[in-house]
Amino acid sequence: MTQVSTAELASWLNSTLEVARFKDYCPNGLQVEGKPYIGKLVTGVTASLALIDAAIARQADAILVHHGWFWKNENPCIVGTRKTRIERVLSHQLNLLGYHLPLDAHPEFGNNAQLARQLGIEILRDENGVAQTCGPDGLVWLGELATPVSLETFGLTVCNNLHREPLIVGDLQRKIRRIAWCTGGAQGFIDAAISAQADLYISGEASEQTFHSAQENNIAFMAAGHHATERYGAKALGEEIARQFGIDVEFIDLDNPI
């Protein structure tokens, strides 16, 4: 079986995802150290107990996720479900690798880039081919549809491609072309989309005030699911790891309706 050292894979990931340029809510990189070599890697969205058990069942050496552990303002005590998760990972010598904002923002493997591919959005780019972004750390991306469509029609595209019905705010007959988006819990970035004069802002979740912001600023809004909008980055990154290092990589999608 082909293997890669844990240190080499972590170093490649840290460099490829440019983790040093982000001020994040959690540590990015190797969060829990396990076996020194990795031959089987499982990727997924969240380091839940269900994903850990699925990785163990597949005799994986490591797990790579978007939502890892050790978030700021979280109770740091290792009790309850936190204790169960950590104990399970340590007892099976699993490496846990987590990449949050760096995986959202990566120009090829990131959640934003991959969501555009899923929904048929053409990413707007500058003269150097760099994606046009706005908002904090450039996390909100900008793009266009090849042909304007109604909000209702694009809502069906989102539903069919992400396999869940989005929450939609706005006139369903409104024509949509210019789109801003940021996956996950980025509803608070709607102001950046408004400033960028987008017709539609897409995120994973919605807050009570999101409705009023959209209505009062004449922008359509979709909450397409936190998990649903972020399932593609970890999968794409895992596929690249398999190409680069020749190890066995499997993406496990454990659906989450939120």
160 close to 150: Cβ distance less than 8 angstroms: no
- Residue 66, annotated ligand binder? yes
The amino acid present at 48, given as its one-letter code, is: S
- Residue 253, annotated ligand binder? no
The amino acid present at 186, given as its one-letter code, is: A
Closest Cα to residue 193, out of 169, 214, 223?
214
38 close to 18: Cβ distance less than 8 angstroms: no
**DSSP strands (E only) in the chain:** 4-5, 29-32, 37-38, 40-46, 62-67, 95-98, 122-123, 133-134, 140-150, 167-169, 175-181, 200-203, 220-223, 248-251
Gyration radius of the chain over CA positions: 19
Q: How far apart are the first and last CA of the chain?
A: 37
- Residue 106, annotated ligand binder? no
- Residue 226, annotated ligand binder? yes
Residue ranges at the known binding site: 66-67, 104, 226, 230
Residue ranges at the known binding site for a divalent metal cation: 66-67, 104, 226, 230
